[in-house]
Amino acid sequence: MTIDIRAVPTHLHVTLGGQYTFDDMKTALIRVRQSVDDYQSAKLLIDCLGMVGDPSLRERFELVAFVLQQRINAILHGKPVNVPTAIVGARPLLHPGRYGIRLLVERGLRLMICEDKAEALAWLGVEAQPQEPVT
Q: What is the pLDDT of residues 63-85, one digit of tens each?
A: 989 999 998 998 899 887 889 99
Domain boundaries defined on the chain: 2-124
Residue 135 has pLDDT above 70, yes or no: no
Residue 55 has pLDDT above 90, yes or no: yes
> How does strand 2-8 pair with strand 11-19?
antiparallel
State the pLDDT at residue 82: 85
Residue 124 has pLDDT above 70, yes or no: yes
State the pLDDT at residue 90: 92
Query: In 3D, which of 45, 38, 57, 43 has the Cα closest to residue 4?
Result: 45
Reported as a pLDDT band with limits 50, 70 and 90, residue 130 is low
Domain 2-124 indexed as CATH 3.30.470.160? no
Query: In 3D, which of 50, 47, 45, 60 has the Cα closest to residue 95?
Result: 60
Yes or no: say if 79 and 70 are a contact pair by the CB < 8 Å rule. Answer: no
